[in-house]
Amino acid sequence: MSRRASLPGASELFRITTSTASPALDLPPQAPPEPAEKPKPAGNGRTEQLSRSAAPHGSGRTKHDAKITVYVSGDELLAMEQARLTLRAKHDLVVDRGRLVREAVAVLLADFDQNGDESVLVQRLRVVGSDGGETEG
């Protein structure tokens, strides 16, 4: 008799645990598409669709159905961690990196929606060239 423990096989470890028809795409059901309308320009010439797509706040700690991967430099990661620790130490706000990034994106998109060409996003992207390096100006 072997002294090894009996472990479950891969099929048991990686079995489907949801009852949906497509567990790999465990997305909420979508409503049928509405007829396409041409967006009406807002006061500053941009469409209202932009303002609807940008949430006023980050989504917080909810289950998210989409994921992106962002690569940052060591200095950027260090600055993010320092900001996260400062939020916890000085403001009693315990947030993870994901929440910090979602809030930053929400703030940036809200500023872009409100200020357009004068937004922080447009101003910073104008300084950085298409290859990510500083432009000479």
The answer to whether position 51 is within a domain reads no
pLDDT score for 84: 96
pLDDT score for 15: 73
pLDDT score for 106: 95
Find the mean pLDDT for residues 44-70: 63
Could you tell me if 80 and 72 are in contact, meaning their C-beta atoms sit under 8 angstroms apart? Answer: yes
State the chain's mean pLDDT as an integer: 76
Find the mean pLDDT for residues 36-63: 53
The answer to whether position 57 is within a domain reads no
pLDDT tens digits, one per residue of 83-133: 999 999 999 999 999 999 999 999 999 999 999 999 999 999 999 765 566
Could you give the number of structural domains in the chain? 1
CA distances from 18 to 12, 54, 124 (A): 14, 31, 44
Quote the DSSP letter at residue 135: P
Tokens 């300084």 found at: 127
pLDDT at 135 over 70: no
Q: Which domain holds residue 105?
A: 74-131
The answer to whether position 119 is within a domain reads yes
The answer to whether position 86 is within a domain reads yes
